[in-house]
Amino acid sequence: MSLERRVVITGIGMVTPLGLDTKTSWKRLVAGESGIGPITAFDAEKFETRIAGEISDFDATSFMTKKEARRADRFTQLAVAATREALASADFIVTDANAERVACLIASGIGGIITLCEQQNLLMERGPDRISPFLVPMILVNMASGVVSMREGLKGLNFAPVSACASSGDAIGQGLQLILAGDADAVVAGGAEAPISPLAVAGFNSAGALSKNNADPKGASRPFDATRDGFVMGEGATTLLLERADHAIARGAPIIAELAAWGAAADAHHITMPAPGGEGATRAMGIALKKAGLEPKDISYINAHGTSTQANDKYETQAVKTVFGPEAYKTPISSTKSMTGHLLGAAGAAEAAVCALAIRDGVVPPTINLETPDPDCDLEYTANLARRGTLKAAMSNSLGFGGHNTSLVFKAWQA
């Protein structure tokens, strides 16, 4: 395949509950450390769930003025920070000459919910005259993408895919398509989410989705374990710089991995429950493998959606078995949500970054807290300790409320 028909990852920026940059987040993931703890963002004493994956020591004014920070919801602030790192790590400079060929696709599942909660409280306490004139732009899901575009001068296509927890996986997939279609030379693609607010926690509690293991925060997210009782909400942002391969090579860019394919499919089944047997996830994985020109035996690692909910982990396991056949039992799998919590609309991008870094460094990060076997989840989930070895290709799955299924395939770069 010609270099004009290949897309590579040249930069990664991460802000997660494990660290304020990619290096720290990745190091702690490989070490099997948890970023989960008691909620400090608000008083959660009366809530069923009082734990989350919060980002510590994040200071938006380190890269924004105080005035700019006040006009941006936290999810937008996180996106700006991640993108700054992604562009810097790729040694990519936006200029008048290339700005129109650089697109920006930063997804979010629920956007500015922290601002929404704060302003609703203000409305009830002090009346409509006290509402911020920036309320509407601060809560819009597309605003992280918009603000990043404005701050970095990115003048190509700009929008925010919204497909619940598959959102940023879809953003990366659509970034791939943009480049292959000739509509961009480079794409800032990823996701940002800052959902740790009273309304979001209460809402997910009412849906029965969150872990209530408040006594053991670091052990609460336990994908594929028989004792799992729900996911742990997390916040964060990750952006990747995608480039057409010949464009990256021409400017001497560092190539982390190749983005080989994107597969997506809908369950058309239920607003929150995955389709029985993981039928939609099965099709998404199959599409991605076919587009990548790979067989199941070629995949060295699967980063599972692995939310730590009963149905998701069971059905995703079944989907992997359907697609991979006998290879399912030989392929290392892990859920890094066991350490970061579930970053909702930003999860797919964080886990895409994990796949690229896993290929680069030859290491599969673990699934921590996997202690009690579940007969419905009987694959190789890389329990508690990372595994090292050469990785030729990796797959990342993202599955969202509404029946959205996305699968991305990455390859080790070979010119």
The token pair that represents 158 in the structure block? 């700009």
Q: From the candidates 104, 247, 305, 355, which is the catalytic residue?
A: 305
Amino acid identity for residue 53 in this structure: G
Q: Which residue intervals of 162-220 are DSSP H helices?
A: 167-180, 198-206
The token pair that represents 190 in the structure block? 């990823």
Q: Catalytic residue at 270? A: no
Q: Catalytic residue at 355? A: no
Cβ–Cβ < 8 Å for 16, 238 = yes
Residues 6+ apart with CB under 8 A from 54: 17, 35, 37, 39, 40, 41, 196, 234, 235
- Residue 220: CB atoms within 10 Å: 28
Instruction: Tell me how far apart the alpha carbons of residues 53 and 406 are, in angstroms, rounded to a whole number.
Output: 23
Q: From the candidates 104, 117, 270, 342, which is the catalytic residue?
A: 342
SS3 at position 252: coil
SS3 at position 315: helix
Phi, psi torsion values for 244, nearest 5 degrees: -60, 135
* CA proximity to 189, closest of 26, 11, 361, 354: 11
b/e per residue 374-389 (b: at least 16 CB within 10 A): beebebbbbbeebbee
Q: From the candidates 104, 165, 355, 377, which is the catalytic residue?
A: 165
Cβ–Cβ < 8 Å for 171, 189 = yes
SS3 at position 57: coil
b/e per residue 59-70 (b: at least 16 CB within 10 A): ebeeebeeebbe
In the block, tokens 């802000």 appear at 15
Instruction: Tell me how far apart the alpha carbons of residues 166 and 307 are, in angstroms, rounded to a whole number.
Output: 12
Side-chain-side CA neighbours of 183 within 13 Å: the count stands at 13
Q: Catalytic residue at 165? A: yes
SS3 at position 221: coil
Residues classed as catalytic: 165, 305, 342
